[in-house]
Structure formats: C-alpha cells, structure tokens
Chain A
Amino acid sequence: MAEHGQYLYAVARGVEPAALSAARGLHDQPLRVLEHRGLDAVLSTVDLDEFGEEGLHRNLEDLTWLEAVARGHDAVVQAVAQSGAVAPMRLATIFTSDDGVRGRLDELYEALTAALDRVEGRHEWSVKVYAPERAAEPSAAPTTAPGSGADYLRRKKAQTLEKQTAEDDALRIADTVHDTLAAQCVASRRLRPQDPRLTGHEGTMTLNGAYLVDDHLAGSFTEVATRLAEENPQSRVEVQGPWPPYSFATLEQP
C-alpha cells in the first residue's frame, strides 16, 4: 500500500492551463496547479516508496533514475515557462499534502515573489570556457643519454614552470570572460567546473558561468561573448541558452 505525495516542480504566477495541457508530470501523471495568494504551485502525485526519504536516499545515487527525473522535471519547468516568469524547485521537493504546499508557499512568500520579479522577462544563459589545449607529454623518446642528471632536473623544472604559467593564463582568461559578461547582465554566478567523465568534454573547463539576461538584450550579450572568444583564440568558448532561470530563481532549501 503505497502512500502518495505531491511533487512540486515550480512556482509561477498566472499559469495558463493551455500551456500545461500538453505536458505531463513524472510517470505520465497529470499536472495540477494549486493557487495560493497569487502564486501558482505546479504539482503532480508521486509514490512515496520512490520519493520518500528512504526511496530518495537510494535513488539519488542512481544516475539512470536521476536522469529520468531531471528530464521530467525540466519538461514541466519549460512548459510552465511558456506562461511567464517561473521559479523552479530543486529536484524532489515533496509534500504529503496540499496544506503542506500552502504552508511552504507562506514561508517562502517574499522570497518567491522576489525571485519571480527578478526573472520576469529574462532567461539564463550558460557560458563555458575551456583552457587552451597544451601539447601532449613532451617526453618523446625515453633515453638516458642526453645531458646529465642536473640537466634532467633543469628540464623538469622548466616544464613545471611552463605548466604553471599556462594554468595561470587559463584562469586569468576565465576571470576576464566572466567579469566582462557579468557586467552585461542583471545577475551572474560561477558554477563549479564540470567533471569531464560526466560530460565527455575535452580539455579543462575553466569557467562554468550562468548569466541572467534581459530577453531584448540577448543579442548584444552573445555578441560580447563572440568578441571575447575572438580575443582569446586559443580557448574554446561555448554559449548556450536561453534556458529557464534555474540558477537565479531556485531557492536554497532551508
């Protein structure tokens, strides 16, 4: 006998039922909008075997499960975003009752209102910078012939310095890109660089930036990013967007 809970995807204002009609919640459940003090909570019913404390503990470490839930969650957020400003919730924000939802909306009322105001007419853009590719290991033919032991150490020292300089340069470029872009937009955040084994990317990610940009200024934002890429030709600059404002409207859970 499974108990059920309510999965809260996002909070918005003035959600149009038409925008949600084509969308479904997790496990193909219907979406429901709970209106409270002018805020719209977008919900669907879930099984607490899967989303209760024990279930989550188990499932959160399963990348397959995470992927399915993240995709489902994002699909709902994107659908809600059709109606206007949206404050997405963190993954797996669960309530046992509608009163619980209303209670949380009361607790977070000011913060949610501020978040929705903040992202109105804006989207998130992601800009990532990857360090210049360095030449592969300089250790060509392994030989003990050329030079002395002291020479060997000098060579190693030079290689270490060269590596350090390259790293410093790469970080400086990342800082410049971020600072320049941050000045172009309403809000910005530096997220942790991502693990290449998760993303499959090549090279070292030196910047994982998130930028909140006015919709009508998106064109000039991407132009600035293009200019920065041209000024730093050895680096790789990747711009993605527009996305729902995940990094700027999602509230930290207490």
Chain B
Amino acid sequence: MTEVETRSEPQGQISLVDLLDRLLGTGVVLAGDVVISLAGVDLVGVRLHALITSVRAEMRADGRDR
C-alpha cells in the first residue's frame, strides 16, 4: 500500500516550517532548556544539557575504573 501525497497548489501552500527553513539561512529550532513557572512567573531554568553531560561523564568514568 503506497502513500504518495502530491500537492500542487503554488499559491501560499508552503507550510510555515518549510518556509522558515528556506527564508532563514539556518532554520529555526525549539530551544532545549526547560523553564518551570508557577502562576505565570518563570522561576527555574533547568539546564538539562549540563545535567546530561555530567551524568554521561560519570557513567563513562565508572566503566573505566573497574
């Protein structure tokens, strides 16, 4: 069973993400950090990147030491 969707509507039918990918040299991404807010007030910015990097480093170090 095949699925080929062909759309040939040249006027304004390009999706926003497709458009932004092309109009912005580098595209657009969603930022990766998490912000925890309470009642509309941003409270904590969780830098998950730093957390992941340090956890992975720990795992690698454990593997080598034993």
Do A and B share a direct contact in the complex (Cβ within 8 angstroms)? yes
Interface residues, chain A, with chain B CB atoms under 8 Å away = 63, 66-67, 70-71, 73-75, 78, 81, 88, 90-91, 123, 126, 191-192, 194-195, 197-199, 208, 222, 225-226, 229-230, 233, 236-244, 246-247, 250, 252-253
Are B7 and A240 in contact, CB atoms less than 8 angstroms apart? yes
Give which listed residue, B2, B7, B10, B21, contacts A78 with CB less than 8 A.
B10
- Give the chain B neighbours of A236 by CB distance below 8 A: 3
Q: In angstroms, how far is the closest chain B Cβ from the Cβ of A205?
A: 11
Cβ < 8 Å to A, chain B residues 17-55: 17-25, 27-30
Complex: how many Å from CA A126 to CA B11?
15
Are B25 and A239 in contact, CB atoms less than 8 angstroms apart? no
The number of residues on chain B lying at the interface, defined by a beta carbon within 8 Å of a beta carbon of chain A, is 28
- Give the chain B neighbours of A253 by CB distance below 8 A: 25
Complex: how many Å from CA A86 to CA B28?
24
Are A194 and B2 in contact, CB atoms less than 8 angstroms apart? no
Given contacts A237-B5, A239-B4, 11 further A-B contacts (CB under 8 A): A66-B20, A191-B21, A226-B2, A230-B2, A237-B4, A238-B4, A238-B5, A239-B6, A240-B5, A241-B10, A242-B8
Chain A CB within 8 A of B16 CB: yes
- Give the chain B neighbours of A63 by CB distance below 8 A: 28
Residue in chain A with minimal CB distance to B24:
A91
- Give the chain A neighbours of B23 by CB distance below 8 A: 70, 73-74, 88, 90-91, 246, 250
Give which listed residue, A67, A74, A222, A241, contacts B12 with CB less than 8 A.
A74
The tally of CB-CB contacts under 8 A between chains A and B is 92
- Give the chain B neighbours of A229 by CB distance below 8 A: 2-4
Chain A CB within 8 A of B1 CB: yes
Q: In angstroms, how far is the closest chain B Cβ from the Cβ of A33?
A: 21
- Give the chain B neighbours of A73 by CB distance below 8 A: 23
- Give the chain A neighbours of B14 by CB distance below 8 A: 74, 240, 243
Complex: how many Å from CA A226 to CA B4?
6
Known: A91-B24, A246-B23. A233 touches B1 (CB 8 A): yes
Give which listed residue, B4, B10, B17, contacts A225 with CB less than 8 A.
B4
Complex: how many Å from CA A16 to CA B49?
52
Complex: how many Å from CA A70 to CA B24?
9
Are A71 and B3 in contact, CB atoms less than 8 angstroms apart? no
- Give the chain B neighbours of A230 by CB distance below 8 A: 2
- Give the chain A neighbours of B6 by CB distance below 8 A: 222, 225, 239-240
Are A198 and B17 in contact, CB atoms less than 8 angstroms apart? yes
Complex: how many Å from CA A241 to CA B14?
8
| 6 shortest interchain CB distances as A-B pairs | A246-B22, A91-B23, A229-B4, A230-B2, A229-B2, A70-B19
Complex: how many Å from CA A219 to CA B5?
14
Are B11 and A237 in contact, CB atoms less than 8 angstroms apart? no
Complex: how many Å from CA A238 to CA B21?
17
Are B12 and A71 in contact, CB atoms less than 8 angstroms apart? yes
Complex: how many Å from CA A215 to CA B20?
24
